[in-house]
Chains A and B, each alone.
Chain A
Amino acid sequence: MKSNMEQRRELWQRLTSKGMTQGELSDTPLHSSPWFVKVLMAFSGWLAALFLFGFVGIALEHILESAVICFFTGSGMIALAYVMLMKMEADRRDYRVSKQEFLEHLALAISLAGQILVAIAIFDVFDDAFEKSTMSLVVFGCLQAGLSIIMPNYLHRLLSAMAAALCWYFACVFRSSGYAGLDYLLVPILMLGVSLLWLNELSLARFTRILEPVAYGLTLSIVYIKGTLMFSAHHLVWYLRKQEDVLVSPWVGELLTTLVLIFVVVRLMQSLGFALKSPQTLAAIAGCGLIGLISIESYGVGLGVMIVLLGFYNSNRLLMGLGVVSLLFYISSYYYFLDVTLLVKSLTLLVLGMVLLIGRKMVLKTWGPSNEG
């Protein structure tokens, strides 16, 4: 089997022979760490930020007493982190291998601690009580969305994109004028955004330093939100006792989720050369419809399937793994979903299993290598 570097050189030569490249191939690949190294960095960055925030809170106690000072100190820290990260990004491009891990971690910790200060200021300005937190969450979410684009650091972008989606989700849940089920609307909107990002990842490869971490951040946030919806949404409604205001029911959310899944599947079928009205595409749409119907009961199945398909389409094994893990999580945690009896759950899964196995038979029959034309 060829080594990674051989594969890299081979691809370069193949593209060069067709006149598709410009410039020279660098000796060393652009710096990229495996995902678990990024997780380790995120963990230590967050921990350091908490201690740094503790330091600011104790040493500069008076800062926390004024929202204005809090805001400007926090913004200053974020700006400082931006300058540090910008310098490192320029170095990374020049020297290829970054040797400034300490500064990168420090910048991340400074920015995260600064964000905590800004969050305190925002919540202080907009809120007098728990119920009025919606606006703060929306504003802080917008700030995070901005940071996910601006900050020149992979991990920062990922965390900010995730934080933005989660802020908007909690803004929907803790809506000032009562719970309206808007979170059920937010999930398919985020799913659509995520699917567009992954489907066009390679066409937008020039912006991959921005779009890839944002796509991962949003994907992780939807996986989390879907899990939260499964466990808490109905209890939350009960807790807030404002069921009469609910505008969007869970089934509407699942219907929209299914439409996004169908959109993704149609795009994938088109990429394989199948027309919209071809029997194969129509069968795939019907399969998605059935999965969507089951997802009304067993939350998250449609989302998990979508992530797995997008991961396979992009040859992105990490994304596929995330999809498989989320699918296993959703199916197994269905046991704890209290709204329906185990008998109904059992029947739902029976139908799901039958649909999937019959679907496999159909795929084998109509799309097997012998039938490929």
Chain B
Amino acid sequence: MSTPAEKANARRFLLEFSENGNIPNGQLEQAIDQANIHPGKTAWFEFLDKLLLILGSLALSVSLLFFIAYNWQELGRFAKFAMVETAILLATMVYVTRTVKDLAAKMALLCAAISLGVLMALYGQTYQTGADPWQLFFNWALLITPWVLVGRFSILWVLWVGLLNLSLVLYHQTFGSLFWSMLHGQELLWVLFLFNLLVWGVWEIAAKIFSWLRDDWSLRVIATATGFCITWLAIDAIVRPWGLEGFWVWLLWYVAVVYGYQFIKRDLFILAGSCLSVISVVLTFMVDNMLDFDNAGSFLLLSFSVIGMGAGAAYWLRSLHTRWLHEE
């Protein structure tokens, strides 16, 4: 039986053959059957099993979240606590009792982790603890850490990283002004960049040991967050007269990413992101120094520069893609 990746490739190749005129008109339907592109009953069964489970569990967790957020006065606080705690208990029991830790078990743990946050919010709402908002998310991340560690589920790790990012942002909103003079108001971006860079590095190393962490998309989300922060810092360094630290660190990051994801681990998505980052930084520099609203030539120059950079990036990425296709 073909894997989903093989089916996806078969689709691509059949479309190519047909477009090239390699498949006679009358044979197309039979060729589609032979290529085995459309999933059969067993594949549909497995897919629906996963889809309904994931969507159903998420809908129930979000439903609980909305219910608590509504703060229904008719329902007493003990009933609310009982409701949320029962949800956590049930979800945890599903995880514990399943001997094989399959997707259903992992989704149950994810629901338990989300519901724990709801419980903490309910606690804050009921007893008006006076805690800062960052504490809610930080403690939430802290309390689900054991589950994240035993869960062997990359989405749980993304939730954990996301909660810590959120608590950093909220912490900055509360205490950020204390550090204002040190980093020209960019301390939040620096902290987020360094934190996500650390997570990114640790994830890459850990993924060599734990196969369940080899999930490209989770890593790409973290890489995108890191790239966004450092690109913004580089742009800020260019347009403001406060020093070029952001730019130099960005340059270092860029060289490391291009080298690492071209020669050590192949990932075209991250390389495409780095190209976007270069285009943004170079263009900012050009706009800052060359754009003149009375001079039409400056607009033309910028237009051709963007076209040149975009074309260069596309050529490089396409060449790599084609070469990797042949080598894989």
- Give the B-binding residues of A (Cβ under 8 A): 2-5, 7-8, 11-12, 14-15, 18-23, 25-26, 28-34, 36-37, 39-41, 43-45, 47-49, 51-52, 54-55, 58-59, 97-99, 101-102, 104-106, 109, 201-203, 205-206, 208-209, 212, 271-273, 308, 312-317, 327-328, 331-332, 335, 341-343, 345-350, 352-357, 359-360, 363-364, 367-369, 372
Counting from the closest, the 6 A-B pairs by CB-CB distance are A44-B310, A356-B56, A353-B59, A205-B18, A59-B296, A51-B303
A21 vs B28: C-alpha distance in the bound complex, in angstroms? 9
Least CB distance, A265 to chain B, in whole angstroms: 11
Beta-carbon contact of A30 and B20 below 8 Å: yes
Chain A residues near B4: list those with CB within 8 A. 315, 317
Beta-carbon contact of A357 and B56 below 8 Å: yes
Chain B residues near A15: list those with CB within 8 A. 17, 23, 31, 34-35
Whether B55 is near chain A, meaning CB under 8 Å from some CB there, is yes
A-B contact count (CB 8 A): 292
Beta-carbon contact of A271 and B303 below 8 Å: no
Beta-carbon contact of B67 and A40 below 8 Å: no
Beta-carbon contact of A7 and B13 below 8 Å: yes
Chain B residues near A335: list those with CB within 8 A. 66, 69
Beta-carbon contact of B318 and A37 below 8 Å: yes
Beta-carbon contact of B22 and A22 below 8 Å: yes
In the complex, besides A5-B326, A15-B17, A346-B66, 17 extra interface pairs with C-beta distance below 8 angstroms are A2-B6, A4-B9, A7-B6, A7-B9, A33-B314, A34-B268, A36-B268, A44-B279, A104-B311, A109-B307, A312-B39, A312-B47, A315-B4, A342-B67, A349-B60, A357-B57, A372-B42
Some 27 contacts from A to B, beta carbons below 8 A apart, are: A3-B327, A7-B6, A11-B17, A23-B21, A33-B314, A36-B268, A37-B317, A40-B310, A41-B314, A51-B306, A55-B299, A58-B293, A101-B310, A105-B307, A105-B311, A109-B303, A201-B15, A205-B15, A206-B21, A208-B19, A313-B39, A314-B38, A331-B59, A349-B63, A353-B59, A355-B56, A363-B48
Least CB distance, B155 to chain A, in whole angstroms: 11
Return the chain B residue nearest A113 by Cβ: B303
Whether B245 is near chain A, meaning CB under 8 Å from some CB there, is no
Chain A residues near B294: list those with CB within 8 A. 58
Return the chain B residue nearest A60 by Cβ: B296
Chain B residues near A327: list those with CB within 8 A. 55
Partner of A369, one of B45, B53, B328: B45
Chain A residues near B276: list those with CB within 8 A. 40, 43
Chain B residues near A360: list those with CB within 8 A. 48-49, 52-53, 56
Chain A residues near B243: list those with CB within 8 A. none
Whether B184 is near chain A, meaning CB under 8 Å from some CB there, is no
* Residue among B6, B39, B310 with most chain A CB within 10 A: B310
A106 vs B318: C-alpha distance in the bound complex, in angstroms? 18
Beta-carbon contact of A45 and B55 below 8 Å: no
Beta-carbon contact of A205 and B322 below 8 Å: no
Beta-carbon contact of B37 and A315 below 8 Å: yes
With A23-B21, A313-B38, A314-B37 already in contact, the answer to whether A11 and B60 are too (CB < 8 A) is: no
Chain B residues near A353: list those with CB within 8 A. 55-60, 63
Beta-carbon contact of B51 and A308 below 8 Å: yes
Beta-carbon contact of A37 and B314 below 8 Å: yes
Provide the B210-221 mask, 1 if CB < 8 A to any CB of A, else 0: 000000000000
Of residues 37 through 86 on chain B, the ones whose CB sits less than 8 Å from some CB of chain A are: 37-42, 44-45, 47-49, 51-53, 55-60, 62-64, 66-67, 69-70, 72
